[in-house]
Amino acid sequence: MLDPVPLKPKDLDRYRKAVGDEPVERIRELAARLEGARILHVNATAYGGGVAELLATLVPLMQGVGLDAHWEVMFGNDDFYNVTKAMHNALQGMEVAWTPQMEKIYLDRNIENVGSLDTDYDFVILHDPQPAAMLHILEYETQRLPSGKWIWRCHIDTSTPFRPVAEFLFPNIEPYDAAVFTMTEFVPGEWGLPPVRLIQPCIDPLSLKNVPLNEETQTAILESYGIDPLRPILCQVSRFDPWKDPVGVIDAYRIVKDEIPEVQLILAGSMATDDPEGMHYLHRTEKHAGGDPDVFILTNAQQVGAIEVNAFQDAADVVIQKSLREGFGLTVSEGLWKGTPLVGGDCGGIRLQIPDGVGGYLVDSVEGCADACLRLLQDRDLAARLGAAGKEHVRTNFVMTTLLENWLRLFIDLADGAV
């Protein structure tokens, strides 16, 4: 039932220009201690969303430094994805209608996927709630005792989960050898979790989404979507869901537009196969925009991909990530990597990426978002300083080599019994 994602190894040396020699040499030393180790990552989708984007670079880099690394996607259907989307929302604090039938749908799909899961790996990493029950099912339902070390990687903010869903899910996490969260604040305290390690997501500076674009290419991309490169641009790139608050972004844009009538807004996002609510919130966002010709709501249905997102973020005068809840928000580091100042919701992993005075501003309201955008649009020197500082902060903390190094250290500690 699990589908392997075909990948080609990536050469670590290509990252020397972006991060310098020292991180590359540290990684090679760590990888030498793990040479040949078998690694398996499992998640719910091969494209659309931050987890798939991370794995598309992380797994090939693991292969490139000598690990036998693989990525497989579990099989689901509409009922399963509706349940796991509700679970995802509930774990971030939303009250949802949670029923025994939903629990059965979730467990039945995990059981079906376990039937085709190869457990002959040194390290198995299951990402987010969708496949989280597999280890518990292996040990207690099928009596197959897997070898190796098992890790649950939670990419979302579970600091205040909706109790009925937490009481169902977290007992399935207890058998893991480790649980990885993005921030200490995300770790739910009252359930018996395995040892916790903190690892932050990172961007790939060599991906099409982040490599420098020449002005001609950038202009051609903007103009192909009817966007005027000579007028001010606000841009948010994210899924269309309530936690990203695209409706609130439009409200903030309207306040800005009252003072700067020529401003434009880009809302760009990828529709993911494991997000059945996405189309609903896309339509809701389009309705709220009310046909404003300066609001550009774009998805992969309009052929928006990595290079288009790159052009939007680089051309923007301000990148916005007005999340209400956020596990990390890769688009924050992506925007900062281009030297663009950022206005982000004061929540979750966004706080790690925009510390006080670096990169931009944290906001907690529509009015605050609008005020911060106006400040940056009206003071170009300030915007340039913040953008430059933000890029260096990302280079130091949130580039893919850092993510690879952190995972290698966790593997070594697990193998040595230090976790």
Going by C-alpha positions, the residue among 73, 75, 87, 40 that lies closest to residue 59 is 40
How many domains does the chain fold into? 2
Asked if 355 and 322 sit in the same domain, the reply is yes
pLDDT value, residue 272: 65
In total, the chain counts a number of residues equal to: 419
CA 348, 389, 187 angle in degrees (round to 5)?
Answer: 15
Asked if 341 and 411 sit in the same domain, the reply is no
pLDDT value, residue 294: 98
The answer to whether position 209 is within a domain reads no
* Tokens matching residue 365: 């309201």
Which domain range does residue 226 map to? 215-397
Asked if 108 and 173 sit in the same domain, the reply is yes
pLDDT value, residue 356: 72
pLDDT value, residue 274: 59
The answer to whether position 12 is within a domain reads yes
The answer to whether position 210 is within a domain reads no
Asked if 147 and 263 sit in the same domain, the reply is no
Q: For position 8, which CATH number holds?
A: 3.40.50.2000
Asked if 405 and 393 sit in the same domain, the reply is no
Asked if 279 and 360 sit in the same domain, the reply is yes
* Tokens matching residue 210: 């982040």
User: What does the alpha-carbon distance between residue 262 and residue 267 come to, in Å, rounded to a whole number?
Assistant: 17
User: What does the alpha-carbon distance between residue 334 and residue 50 come to, in Å, rounded to a whole number?
Assistant: 12
User: What does the alpha-carbon distance between residue 410 and residue 419 come to, in Å, rounded to a whole number?
Assistant: 8
The answer for residues whose C-beta is within 8 angstroms of residue 276's C-beta and 6 or more apart is 78, 81, 82, 85
pLDDT value, residue 327: 87
Asked if 246 and 177 sit in the same domain, the reply is no
pLDDT value, residue 280: 86
The answer to whether position 207 is within a domain reads no
User: What does the alpha-carbon distance between residue 391 and residue 99 come to, in Å, rounded to a whole number?
Assistant: 46
Asked if 181 and 249 sit in the same domain, the reply is no
Asked if 230 and 375 sit in the same domain, the reply is yes
Give the DSSP letter string of 28-46: HHHHHTTTT-EEEEEES-S
Q: Compute, in degrees rounded to 10, the torsion defined by CA atoms 112, 117, 123, 124.
A: -30
Give the DSSP letter string of 353-415: HS-TTSSEEEESSHHHHHHHHHHHHH-HHHHHHHHHHHHHHHHHHSBHHHHHHHHHHHHHHHH
The answer to whether position 274 is within a domain reads yes
The answer to whether position 208 is within a domain reads no
8 A C-beta contact, residue 399 and residue 18: yes
Asked if 384 and 405 sit in the same domain, the reply is no
Quick check: pTM over 0.85? Answer: yes
What pairs with residue 267 in β-bridges?
236, 297
Q: Residues 290, 291, 294, 300: is their CA dihedral positive or negative?
A: positive
Asked if 181 and 285 sit in the same domain, the reply is no
Asked if 142 and 220 sit in the same domain, the reply is no
Positions of the chain with pLDDT under 50: none
